Chains A and B, each alone.
Chain A
């Protein structure tokens, strides 16, 4: 039951800008952590770019669940967790505004589960003809090592490979 990252971004006209992020990557092996962090930033930015204002959504990709909330004022937040972490708790976290007096009750009232869009893969966020591999290759969030990591991770879905 893990929370990997929490990012706050601003959804600009053409792309989203990362404002602040926090990570807990202790469950990943040591040498993968920097790549994983870059990839989570890339994913968070992409998700906010493809999510309309005033929407909540959950995107599933392999063993990760990304929960996003983009406010009407274009401020967005993304939580990346594993599939065990309860969805409801994530959205409560995303909605938190510490300045509001009874934030929790306000959130509970607003949070109607039927209004959360569910995406079964990242691909469903993309436009027609867009490929995730292309976006990865072009991304400025990802270093060369991360792009290499992405390629090998795609291949290693079979557990019978020698290397």
Chain B
């Protein structure tokens, strides 16, 4: 009975359409044997399930058909190709050949890029890491970006520009959602986070608002996933982009003066505020959730980014001036009384704060390796063995890599 139904089952594209709300998740149901002589496809609400027993029949059947087509031993019309690749990729999204056939279908107009992205999203709900899915997705996005929408004579240039901008913003939002879902489905999902970074680099280059929004919206997420290294790495990327956009490294103009003065507005206090907020976030998490190496690693990255930026902008950002070597001798004996990092501030890395800054609200003290040492010392009392070893390793890194307190 089942073998005769294979052709029907391979028409997955049909299964995906005609559902309201649209299907948002697919899954494999572990089911070693067929029961009751019925279809292996299970549809519950807007979730599509495939019982695992049918895979060993269905997958080779459709895969074989595709290979025969590729070898020019079998003709398949475009709709059949759409169906077959759809079925294949829902079962195994790492079949590059199937994605490549879909690229050809997109290029000749038989398959809309949006439809293809939708399939990718479904495939990722089952295989959130799938490298081939992410790689193909980037091809489709590039294709979308390069394809100019048909010129409509009734539109003005300004209107076209606005519509393009809207479409771009929509695509951006959609990609952020796909990445976020995939990141939730698999811990430290490097492929998902790398894709997220790629999308921002292509669709939001230099767009400070987008980066600030991302930093802000990711705050609760990383706080709930304190050992997700890729999530924190994303924050490091955002910080780096923001410092580049807000205050590019000062270059010297030909007459030796710092060209920073003539360049487009540098928001140096904003950069300092960003780093202070980030260090406060990671301090709070380190204290609340002791013993997570990811948090310490993030702290290292953040402090190092700040330290390097400070070296490129000497004398900027409301610094009190460098502490000479004698500061190093007294740092361990400092109490926590005068330490700005410990002060309770109900802040968030919020664009509103940056605006408040511009209105002249006083800045917190800039982070220094001195303040970092005090943070570490404050933690060492009464902490567990794991936290202790991370804290000591961080202190050693400060001394070796960062060097004399600045």
A residues apposed to B, CB below 8 Å: 1, 27, 29-32, 35, 63, 83-84, 86, 145, 148-149, 151-152, 159, 162-163
Contact = CB atoms under 8 A, between A and B. Distances in A.
B225 interface: yes
Given A30-B27, A31-B49, A32-B27, A163 B55 contact: yes
A30 B42 CA distance: 12
Nearest to A33: B27
Interface in B120-166: 125-126, 129
B292 A84 contact: yes
A145 B27 CA distance: 14
A31 B31 CA distance: 11
Contacts of B25: 29-30
Taking chain B's interface residues, is the majority helix, strand, or loop, or is none over half, making it mixed? mixed
B187 interface: yes
A84 B227 contact: yes
A145 B29 contact: yes
Nearest to B47: A30
Contacts of B44: 30
Contacts of B198: none
Contact of A152 (B52, B187, B226, B289): B52
A31 B289 contact: no
B133 to A, nearest CB: 14
User: Looking at A31, A86, A148, which has the most chain B CB atoms within 10 Å of its CB?
Assistant: A31
9 contacts: A29-B126, A30-B25, A30-B47, A31-B29, A31-B42, A84-B292, A152-B52, A163-B56, A163-B92
9 shortest interchain CB distances as A-B pairs:
A31-B27, A149-B30, A148-B30, A30-B47, A31-B49, A29-B27, A31-B29, A148-B32, A1-B224
Interface string B33-50: 000000000101001010
Interface in B200-226: 224-226
Contacts of B225: 1, 84
B28 interface: yes
Interface residues of B, number: 31
Contact of B129 (A30, A83, A159, A163): A159
A27 B42 CA distance: 20
Contact of A163 (B49, B91, B125, B226): B91
B219 to A, nearest CB: 14
B185 A84 contact: no
B188 to A, nearest CB: 11
Interface string B256-269: 00000000000000
Contacts of A35: 30
Interface of B: 25, 27-32, 42, 44, 47, 49, 52, 55-56, 59, 91-92, 94, 125-126, 129, 184-185, 187, 224-227, 288-289, 292
A29 B184 CA distance: 11
A92 B92 CA distance: 44
A81 B35 CA distance: 34
Nearest to B46: A30
A159 B224 CA distance: 26
A30 B227 contact: no
Contacts of A145: 29-31
Given A1-B225, A84-B227, A163-B55, 20 more contacts: A1-B226, A1-B289, A27-B185, A29-B27, A29-B125, A29-B126, A30-B47, A31-B27, A31-B47, A35-B30, A145-B31, A148-B31, A148-B32, A151-B30, A152-B30, A152-B52, A162-B94, A163-B56, A163-B91, A163-B92
Given A159-B129, A163-B55, A31 B32 contact: no
Contacts of B126: 29
A84 B226 contact: yes
A163 B30 CA distance: 11
Contacts of B129: 159
Contacts of B27: 29-32
User: Looking at B30, B91, B224, B288, which has the most chain A CB atoms within 10 Å of its CB?
Assistant: B30
Contacts of B125: 29
Contacts of B29: 31, 145
Contacts of A29: 25, 27, 125-126, 185
A152 B125 CA distance: 18
